[in-house]
Amino acid sequence: MNLESKIYIAGHTGLVGSAIVRAIKAQGYRNLIFRSSQELDLRDKEQVVRFFHENNIDFVFLAAAKVGGIVANNDYPADFIRDNLQIQTNVIDTAYQYGVKKLLFLGSTCIYPKFAPQPLREDYLLTGELEETNEAYAIAKIAGIKMCQAYNRQYGTKYISVMPTNLYGPGDNFDLETSHVLPALLRKIHEAKQNHLDTVEIWGSGSPRREFLHSNDLADACLYLMNHYEGDDIVNIGTGEDISIYELANHLKSIIGFEGEFVFNTSRPDGTPRKWVDVSKLKAMGWASQISLVDGLKATYEWYTKQEKILSN
């Protein structure tokens, strides 16, 4: 990409998309295109075709997706598979039709088998059964990866697919019914402190281990790969380190200043026992994460409390 390239960030208001926008602007790119979901419904092929027809787009970051935590994925599988298949199919195919130079597709590490060896290597894709609770979302993402590879092979496109680990940061979803584990825990512990509660309930046993990557690090990696990588092989993006949910909760407890105790609701699902990605391929390309978990959690909590104050005024 050069500074005058016309760059479309699909999903620019979400956790990932907003981080990519910040990173692109910080590096001096000036010709950025965004559309809200109200302005452009990516599930509607006619709208997507009209949008690409009206804009001479050079590069696409496909960060738009329907996302959610265990409960949302488990309760609304039809919504997750339908909406994500429609979004990515429409954007990938129309990008080809209108001669986009390069596209980066954001996948997810939930594409890997539930009981795959750890850390998760890129070549573990399609080697075992998926985690049941988010199977519909994972299958949609796998279809997106295979679509990018198929278009590269048949049409000579330059579409790359990246698999970020669990993400967090400013702009995250903190809704307790639909959010992922980190923002849900942050909000629960924050509200427990505010309301002088003695306990906070944590879903599951607390033993599953997860890797957490700050959205700003992900955005930096996406820009790096857009400018330095071409190939069919998927690329993991992560820190190379993981932590138990119990340990995460204690980090948040310390940062927030909560003095109560945790109660584990083991009637709720744990999900995948461990999810920790092998980032050796990305490191060999010259990129590594820079934001430590504790620093990232502190910054995210500061952002959350500022937003809370804004909304209350």
Residue list, annotated binding site for substrate: 188, 203, 210, 270
Q: Which of 276, 284, 280 is nearest to 229 (CA)?
A: 284
Rounded alpha-carbon distances, angstroms, from residue 246 to 54, 168, 249:
50, 17, 5
Within 8 A by CB and 6+ apart from 9, the residues are 17, 20, 21, 24, 32, 33, 34, 61, 63
Is 229 a known active-site residue?
Answer: no
Distance CA 76, CA 136 (A): 9
**Which two three-digit tokens encode residue 288?**
């590594």
Catalytic residue among 29, 112, 137, 168: 137
SS3 263: strand
Length of the chain: 313
Binding-site positions: 11-17, 106-109, 141, 164-167, 180, 188, 203, 210, 270
Catalytic residue annotation: 137
